[in-house]
Amino acid sequence: MSHMKKYIYISILCSMSALLSSCNDWLTEEGPMVTNAKDFFTSGETATQCVNAAYAPLMWEYNTTYYPEWFIGDVVSDDALKGGQTLLDMSDVYDLENFKTISNNGLLLDYYRAQYQGIARCNLAIEEIPAINLDESIDEKLRDRLTGEAQFLRAMYYFRLVRMFGGVPKVDFVVYSSDLWKQPRATKDAIYELIISDLKDAEAKLWKKSEYEDKDLGRATKGAAQAMLLKAYLYMHNYSEAKKWGEAIKIQEAAGEYDLCGNYADNFTLEGENGIESVFEIQYMNDETSDYGEGNGFTRGTFTTILTRSRSTAFGSSSAGWGFNKPTQDLYNEFENSDPRRDVTILNPTDAEIINSTEEIYLGSRYCNRKYSMMGQDGKYIPLSHASRSPLNYRVIRYADVLLMYAEACCEENATTEAKAALEKVRSRARGNNPAILPEFPGYNNYQDTKDDLMKAIRHERRVELAMEGHRWFDLCRWNIAKKTMDTYKANETPEARAEMADFIEGKHELFPIPQEEVNLGGLEQNPGY
């Protein structure tokens, strides 16, 4: 695992310095740019460097502000509160959390631009790598795989954009001329069409996870492309196609490529990285040159770990954290009382452990995020040398997510037997060897053996299984229940939290505003209500 991380990052640094440092020249001087690009793409090594650089924006967590996607998926929903020391600590996130976002939100601008930086790098790889002459450094299989990785990544970047902003400019080509800078917004359907096309091409070219050497584990795989096709079709409400791609990746489960790991908590440890449950995860490393303040993609460790830790030093001396992304009481109550996943997900400190209530209690929530906090068996935080030097990978797609997406697609297609089996597999792992604590469907939460209640059970399971992993908000929007859910949540929250929340406006708040700087540059049409 460590060899793989070092390999990828060394290659990223090489590619950034050799290829991407002259990006501005490429945009302004067409002739030299074309020549340099052609001269660069001469071998398997340089092709690999280019693709490695295309992965980098996935891990950019700090530029002028913070923008991890999971953060948005949690705090905008009923699962989490922003946290921090005050309401204005990370004010851009406060605005997102409370439906007060305006178009000059710095977090959204950084996020938007990071995705297009990734897309630009993918476009270059997709255009140039297929033309590389085959030699001892690159055969047809490797050339196809590298092209497939770039197509997978481009699809992922566009998927991130479309579910945040709706239709966005479609740039599936290398921008050689300033005449091509300004592109109109494409429709949401057009963006999904590109996503599906890229993922299908990638799925045909990518290798199975078992075909990669250890140093390359963490790269996009055939299974990752299948999982993303399942996810994309769910968001398109095309359940028959989603079910088909869920069945495709389940074939890989039968072949031993994927499964649930034995212990739920192992998914969030260094030892569990790139394991059997991992379908795709963002690779990080503990690099002593990493610094969250550097920006521009050169942060190689993650600050997710320090960000989510409790501020209290009672959990690890000087290794306390920043106290953001705090679970809500509503999320805590969603877990069945006997569900062991709750203690893995949520830290519920005692009064003695809360040294200073102003540092621990935020809008009435005493809870802290535990999943990515890197806590040892002794209940203490594992020390970090720097806030952004945590080597802990972030799991983008786990096989549990795949099973629950497949269960949802099956339920929508009236294949309730298959849906129940996928749901039960997830619950079975959570309960361990004690069937009494988490009964099989429908023996809990007053569920009846009906299709409607089966769907409720699947949605419940997604919330507790994937809690604090950035899925909840996007699920609510995809299910078209965001307003109903957030109105209910607001009514039941603490008076302090309720006072900060604006009313959810249906038809507006399901999407975020296109960053105003981008609107001004390209004449883009803004989303409704902003």
pLDDT bin (cut points 50, 70, 90) of residue 35 is: very low
Q: Is 81 helix (H, G, I), strand (E, B) or coil?
A: strand
Give yes or no for residue 83 having a pLDDT over 80: yes
For the chain, give every residue range classified as CATH 1.25.40.390: 2-82+103-254
Taking phi over 0 as left and psi of -120 to 50 as alpha, with beta for the rest, 316 belongs to: left
Least confident interval from 56-60, 123-127, 178-182, 216-220:
178-182
| Kind and range of the H or E run holding 326 | strand 324-327
Percent of the chain with pLDDT over 70: 89
Residues paired with 66 in a beta bridge: 62
Q: What is the mean pLDDT of residues 413-437?
A: 96
Q: Residue 19 has what pLDDT?
A: 37
pLDDT per residue as tens digits for the range 485-509: 999 999 999 999 999 999 999 999 9
Burial of 521 (0-12, 13-18, 19+ CB in 10 A): exposed
pLDDT bin (cut points 50, 70, 90) of residue 10 is: very low
CA distance 131 to 133: 6
Can you read off the two tokens belonging to residue 330?
Answer: 């509503």
Query: Counting every residue, how long is the chain?
Result: 530
Q: Is 178 helix (H, G, I), strand (E, B) or coil?
A: helix
User: Token pair 């067409």 is at which residue?
Assistant: 30
In this prediction the pTM is: 0.92
Q: Residue 40 has what pLDDT?
A: 77
pLDDT bin (cut points 50, 70, 90) of residue 163 is: very high
Give yes or no for residue 105 having a pLDDT over 80: yes
Q: Greater confidence, 28 or 275?
A: 275
Give yes or no for residue 12 having a pLDDT over 50: no
Name the amino acid, one letter, at 103.
S
Sign of CA dihedral 159, 228, 325, 332: positive
Q: Residue 120 has what pLDDT?
A: 95
Q: Is 169 helix (H, G, I), strand (E, B) or coil?
A: strand
**Domain 2-82+103-254 CATH (choose: 3.20.20.140, 3.10.180.10, 1.25.40.390, 2.40.10.10):** 1.25.40.390
